[in-house]
Amino acid sequence: MTVLKAELTRLAKGMLADPVPGAPPVDLTVAPSQVEDAAAILRFASTVGLRVLFWGGGTHQGIGNAVAPDVVMTTHGLDRIVDWQAEDLTIVVEAGVTVSALEAQLQQRGQTAVLPETPAGATVGGVAAAGLSGWRRLRYGPTRDRVLEVVLATGDGRAVTGGGRLVKNVTGYDLPRLATGSLGSLGLIARLCLKLWPLAAHQGMVHVSDPEAALRTAYRPLAVIETNEGSIVYLAGTLAELEAQAERLGGRLASGHRWPEPLAGPWEFVLRVPAGATGRFVDEIRRNGWAFQAAHGVGEVRLVVDSGDDERLAGLREEAETLGGTLVVFNSPARGVLDPWGAAPGSADLQRRVKAAFDPVGIANPGILPGGI
């Protein structure tokens, strides 16, 4: 190990970084500032079989099977906005740029990348790797649909570009979509091009009593969110549009625009079910007395629970899986109590082969995906 470490240290000259707070203890933490450097380290790691854990803001490291790394690779050094084509509604950024910094900058010209509402420090690369979408998904679709180009440092150390900096493009296989949500299993997402949307002139909220009816009444709301406190329809558009929508919803336009405060609890879950079944699951969650935030029309319910070995969770998961859904652990105080993913997908064999095409040795976030892929 010491020989390898010496070699790696030589290779990583100038990239060595202090250990990242919260990360598992490792011998070496690297923070490459060029895609090619990241690729070089991964190539070496593949050669000698060192497992690498990728780290962005560390805000969503609780997702997936635990990785026992030899090396942590952070994206702190990849923090540049490369090319913002405001008039074409596209932007190229490096993975380590934080979501909040990017959105703040875009907002100055009335644009948004529709990235999720994440805790401070969350990075664009991390959000893409985790495949996270925000509340506005109902209106704008998932984050995955806005990743136009990726530059990937693959597990076996190539700097590969897929997609293109264009809002419409079917040239070649869709690596951007494959990389989004891959949780580092193929390698490091080092740079991405995102599709932007113009921000609507106004945003507003309407409190409603029946979120499912509201979903059918409102035209393209940003979100219809139900929590333990009640339901809110989030709207965007011109003032005239908002007023017309509020009237149709039979409610008043509330001043201000606030997303629900993030839920905090020892065990955080995301339940994903067919959109039409959201209400049914919300009823069950409510009966169980858990704190939740449900995105109607999307089929996603975030919930927090005190204990991971509550058998009602297993029941909920089973019910979701019957409908083709999942109950995913997002954060937990202890690993190994509950499988973070649930049943392995039917395509596990194909997934394993696809991972191997990019990471043949299996050193990039090894085992993090369902089925230990």
Partner 1 sequence: MALVDDLRSTLGSDRVHSHPLELLVYDKDAGVTRGEAVAVVLPETTQEVAACVRIAASHGVPVVARGAGTGLAGGSVPAEPALLVVLTRLNEIWEIDEYARTAWVGAGVLNLDLSRATEHLGLHYAPDPSSQAACTVGGNVGTNAGGPHCLAEGTTVAHILGVEFVTSDGDVVMLGSKAPDPPGLDLRGVVVGSEGTLGIVTKVLVKLTENPPAVRTLLLTFDSIQAAAATVSGVIAAGIVPAALEMMDQPMVVAVEGFIGAGLPVEAAAVLLAELVGLEEGVVAEASVVERIANEAGATSVRVAADDAERAVLWKARKNAFGAVAQAAPDYYLHDTVVPRTKLAEVMTEIYEIGRRNNIQMLNVFHAGDGNLHPLVAYDAREPGMSEKVRAAAEEMVRVSVAAGGSLTGEHGVGLEKRELMGLVFEPIDLDAQARLREAFDPHGRMNPGKVLPTGARCFDFDLAGKKEVSP
Site for partner 1 in 196-235 (CB under 8 A): 197-199, 212, 219-220
**Binding partner 1 by CB under 8 A: which of 1, 16, 104, 166?**
166
Shortest Cβ distance from residue 136 to partner 1 (Å)? 14
Shortest Cβ distance from residue 300 to partner 1 (Å)? 6
Q: What is the dihedral of CA 298, 171, 103, 364, to 10 degrees?
A: 80
Contact set for partner 1, span 311-340 (CB under 8 A): 320, 323-326, 328
| 81 scored as a contact of partner 1 (CB under 8 A) | no
| 112 scored as a contact of partner 1 (CB under 8 A) | no
Burial class (CB in 10 A: 0-12, 13-18, 19+), 97: buried
Contact set for partner 1, span 249-268 (CB under 8 A): none
Nearer to partner 1, 170 or 264 (CB): 170
Position 83: which residue type? D
Shortest Cβ distance from residue 181 to partner 1 (Å)? 6
Question: Among positive and negative, which fits the CA dihedral 227, 229, 233, 236?
Answer: negative
- Considering only the stretches 30-38, 42-50, 99-107, 225-233, report the one whose residues sit in contact with partner 1 under the rule CB under 8 A: 42-50
| 88 scored as a contact of partner 1 (CB under 8 A) | yes
Length of the chain: 373
Cα separation of 179 and 268, whole Å?
24
Cα separation of 62 and 41, whole Å?
25
What φ, ψ does residue 239 adopt, rounded to 5°? -60, -40
Provide the token pair at 112: 């948004």
Question: Among positive and negative, which fits the CA dihedral 303, 176, 127, 261?
Answer: negative
**Binding partner 1 by CB under 8 A: which of 58, 77, 157, 204?**
157
Nearer to partner 1, 20 or 150 (CB): 150
